Amino acid sequence: MADYALRISDAEVARYLHMAEAAERAERDLWIAAGAVPGARIADVGCGPGAVSVRLAALAAPGGGVWAVDRDPEALAVARALADRAGAAVTAGLGDADATGLPAGTFDLVMLRHVLAHNGGSEQAIVDHLGSLARPGGSVFLADVDIAMTRFRGLDPVLTGMTERYEEMHRRRGNDLRVGTRLDELLIAAGLELVHFQGRVDVVTPPPGMRGPAWAARDALVAEGLATPEDIARWDEAFQRVDSSVRFFGAMFTAYARRPQDS
């Protein structure tokens, strides 16, 4: 599995909370159709700081719950704190996306968001594993991006270089930042029955202080020789010049499929 480049910080947690709110607003009906209903057992794989886990747990209540898995102990600590604060039925544990340690064939819904793009070469192994976690008739729900369709308006030109270097880092790691366009193929190849596959463009006005994944990966960019401390300082200054006129247009793809009843 590839190393994850993003650093968990207060600002990064705030970004995840903002993303989770936007995701539920856009996808809530799909989550419910895929199995996020009262009493459901839900696995949130690659949960990060648990922002989506808490929202899924609310849909599974009463009687259901979420088993949240991530490979980052720091992210899991945040996930547990968020769940405790919300009073949500979330059980968080360490695991990889292709080896969660969760019991096979027991979940009504298995969700994976923004993980496949960071694990070049392992995409099919991950989706195959997720499929094994779903009960017969249960669903696997994927969400990921196509960065080639991403656009900014009003972004400081200095920050364009940062995003280009972020993309280059992923290219060197063998990651596919366009994986969203092949979520359907991955689900079908895992032996699942495709129910839904679509894309949308999210129009986002970043709240004050939100700087995005390229900034969160700045230490990794320096470690891999793609940026210098001087670059980081320039980008920091550019972010401080950013105002409310900035818009982000992001291409998001979602897909879900069911495990056959006779499997």
According to the model, what pLDDT value does residue 199 have? 97
- Residue 249's alpha-carbon distances to 18, 142, 200, 252, 254, in angstroms, are 15, 20, 10, 10, 16
Domain that holds residue 191: 10-148+175-205+248-258
* Residue 46, phi-psi category: left (phi > 0), alpha (psi -120 to 50), beta (remainder): left
What is the rounded CA–CA span in Å between residue 16 and residue 74? Answer: 14
What are the pLDDT digits (tens) for 171-189?
Answer: 999 999 999 999 999 999 9
In a domain, 157, yes or no: no
What's the CATH code of the domain at 31?
3.40.50.150
In a domain, 127, yes or no: yes
Total number of domains in the chain? 1
In a domain, 4, yes or no: no
According to the model, what pLDDT value does residue 1 have? 44
In a domain, 217, yes or no: no
Whether the pLDDT of residue 49 is over 70: the answer is yes
In a domain, 158, yes or no: no
Q: In this structure, are residues 16 and 51 in contact, taking their beta carbons and an 8 Å threshold?
A: yes
What are the pLDDT digits (tens) for 106-136?
Answer: 999 999 999 999 988 899 999 999 999 999 9
